[in-house]
């Protein structure tokens, strides 16, 4: 599904990604861990072609199609979703209208208001989001945990091919982490894939993780199974850092 070959990328003329390679197939859950400043969030932003980041060489492909020069909204329509570490507050647009508009743009199809709102309400119950929030302004007045759960709600509603979760669990309490993990399990299946960027093994405890990658100095230096995450939590990254 996603294939990244020898990717180099700069931020403010400083190289952050320095020859990164990654391949993600349908049905897989991948986890990327690494020390601060290693390039984890940069990778997520580069895949979505955030204009603040510049690809200097290498290639990103989605279903065999090169993404390098596509605009962010075009990449999203190809089926790539990204949750944010710090979701924006958007006054003047409700959670429901935001989701419905986004879904219409993704599918180029009209969604019936009543059936759509019913579906969103069902997801909100599963994620322990107050149903009254469906008509509140997007993220306005939401707690940190509510904003993060709202990102997972967006993922479930939009149902992308690839979901990139950039430290969605950061700053969450144990119960909220369990809810986010539940949302990932609800989403993941044989026809989609998940890329989780995290420092926290709590998020992935109940997930069927296929691969854990260690990212250091802009490249993946080691790949293992789920046990690798537990090793990192216990021993840190010292053995992977030159």
Distance between CA atoms of 113 and 87, rounded to whole angstroms? 25
Distance between CA atoms of 65 and 214, rounded to whole angstroms? 26
Mean pLDDT, the chain, rounded, equals 93
**End-to-end CA gap in the chain:** 32
- Average pLDDT, stretch 40-67? 95
Which of 41-45, 63-67, 123-127, 197-201 is predicted with the least confidence, judged by mean pLDDT?
197-201
Provide the percentage of residues in the chain whose pLDDT is more than 70: 100
Domain spans of the chain?
Answer: 2-240
- Give the three-state DSSP class for 54: strand
Distance, C-alpha 201 to centroid of its chain? 16
Model confidence at 77: pLDDT above 80: yes
* The two structure tokens encoding residue 84: 């944010």
Are residues 169 and 178 in contact, defined by beta-carbon separation less than 8 angstroms? no
- The whole-number pLDDT of residue 84 equals 85
Per CATH, which fold does 2-240 belong to? Rossmann fold (3.40.50)
Its pTM stands at 0.94
Provide the percentage of residues in the chain whose pLDDT is more than 90: 79
* pLDDT tens digits, 55-76: 999 999 999 999 999 999 999 9
């Amino acid at each position: 599904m996603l294939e990244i070959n020898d990717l180099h990328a700069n931020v403010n003329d400083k190289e952050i990604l320095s020859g990164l390679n990654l391949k993600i197939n349908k049905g897989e859950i991948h986890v990327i861990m690494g020390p601060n400043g290693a390039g984890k969030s940069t990778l997520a932003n580069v895949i979505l072609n955030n204009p603040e980041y510049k690809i200097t060489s290498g290639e990103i492909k989605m279903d065999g199609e090169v993404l390098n020069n596509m605009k962010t909204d075009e990449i999203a329509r190809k089926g790539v979703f990204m949750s944010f570490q710090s979701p924006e507050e958007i006054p003047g647009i409700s959670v429901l209208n935001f989701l419905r508009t986004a879904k219409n743009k993704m599918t180029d199809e009209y969604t019936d208001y009543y059936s759509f709102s019913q579906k969103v309400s069902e997801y909100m119950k599963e994620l322990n989001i107050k149903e009254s929030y469906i008509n509140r302004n997007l993220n306005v007045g939401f707690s940190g945990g509510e904003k993060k759960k709202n990102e997972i709600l967006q993922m479930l509603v939009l149902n992308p091919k690839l979901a990139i979760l950039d430290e969605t669990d950061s700053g969450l309490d144990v119960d909220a982490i369990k809810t986010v993990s539940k949302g990932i399990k609800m989403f993941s299946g044989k026809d989609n894939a998940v890329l989780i960027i995290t420092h926290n093994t709590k998020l992935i405890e109940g997930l069927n993780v296929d691969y854990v990658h260690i990212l250091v100095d802009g490249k993946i230096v080691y790949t293992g199974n789920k046990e690798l995450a537990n090793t990192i939590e216990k021993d840190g990254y010292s053995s992977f850092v030159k």
